[in-house]
Amino acid sequence: MKILWQMDQPVDPGLTTLMQTAADCAVLTEGVAQPCAVSVRLCDDEAIHAINRDYRQVDRATDVLSFPLLAYPKGKTAGSLSRHALAQAWDDETNAVMLGDLVISVDHIAAQAEAYGHSVAREAAFLLVHGLCHLMGYDHMEEDEQRRMRTMEEKILNQIGMSREENAEGMEPVSDEALLGLARAAMERAYAPYSEFSVGAALLCEDGRVFQGCNIENASYPLSNCAERTAVFKAVSEGEKSFTTIAITSNGSTPWPCGACRQVLNEFAPSIRVLVEGADGVRDELPLSALLPHGFGPKDLGK
Ligand code: THU
């Protein structure tokens, strides 16, 4: 999912990283067959108030506003629209179906997180997913459509470790299919003009959060970074170091991690499950301990 961001003020990059993963997860869970794009503006209460007043004649600030580009027949959502119907919103610039615009108030994210007693990250993910569900044709005017929308929101949030269910034991574990889907979405963002070998990774953390990574090449070849290490470095720089599974996918051969990535994974998670899928769709998995036997790690330095 391509997000066109507009930030009216500096926003914690951890939040926008999480929102990107939530957006990827939303279109995957909905099963939209085409690449999608959305524009997301993060603003303050004053700005969202003005938009609410000017475009909806509602004279107050709110948490999120959604302006869908597609018209959905009753009972239909993006995943059940035909290719032809989705093509109505095709955007040549992003090379994707433009689902529409979202406006989210950063002031409301903070205030509602405080009021509900959960993290700012959880509230940001929830508001993005709620808005995206509207852009994909969901609504909550009638009881049965509200139930459908809530179920979809929970399903999406659950898969990125952000369910409203505070108790991690009450959460469904992230499925291998969902994790590989997030790895495939990350692969779309690979920067690999030299090798043309695109790789995507999705790293599942013990608390259910997921960090994505892609390979990033450089004209000075050795400076290129693998997808797996991008994901690990993103997670560690956001304060997360407990990993359970890494899903890796490529546009070519089965992407077993290279030696450097095995070593970096070994630093934090010597027994992490490594799940791979090649372009042919063939999957395989091994624990890292089988890929890096007798690995040298923190324990060898008494840590
Ligand atoms: N690559 C990865 O991203 N992960 C691996 O485990 C193996 C290789 C990338 C690095 C480079 O951009 C391209 O694949 C070709 O080596």
pTM for the whole structure: 0.85
CATH superfamily placement of domain 176-301? Cytidine Deaminase, domain 2 (3.40.140.10)
Spatial separation of the C-alpha atoms in residues 121 and 110, rounded to whole Å: 9
Q: Could you state, in order of their start, the residue ranges of all structural domains in the chain?
A: 2-159, 176-301
Fold entry, domain 2-159: Collagenase (Catalytic Domain) (3.40.390)
Both tokens of 45, joined, read 């209460």
By most ligand atoms within 8 Å of CB, the mutation choice from 195, 223, 226, 230 for ligand 1 is: 226
Nearest protein CA to atom 7 of ligand 1, as residue: 258
Ligand 1 centre from 140 Cα, in Å? 44
Q: Show the beta-strand stretches assigned E in 158-221.
A: 199-205, 210-214
Judge contact between 230 and 214, C-beta under 8 A. yes
By most ligand atoms within 8 Å of CB, the mutation choice from 187, 256, 258, 286 for ligand 1 is: 258
pLDDT in tens, the chain (303 residues): 999 999 999 898 889 999 999 999 999 999 998 999 999 999 999 999 999 999 999 999 999 999 999 999 999 999 999 999 999 999 999 999 999 999 999 999 999 999 999 999 999 999 999 999 999 999 999 999 999 999 999 999 988 888 755 544 555 678 899 999 999 999 999 999 999 999 999 999 998 889 999 999 999 999 999 999 999 999 999 889 999 999 999 999 999 999 999 999 999 999 999 999 999 999 999 999 999 999 999 999 999
Beta-sheet strand order (sheet of 273-277):
210-214, 199-205, 243-250, 273-277, 283-287
Q: How far apart are the first and last CA of the chain?
A: 40
Task: Give CB contacts under 8 A, 24+ apart, made by 110-118.
Answer: 112/63, 118/164, 118/166
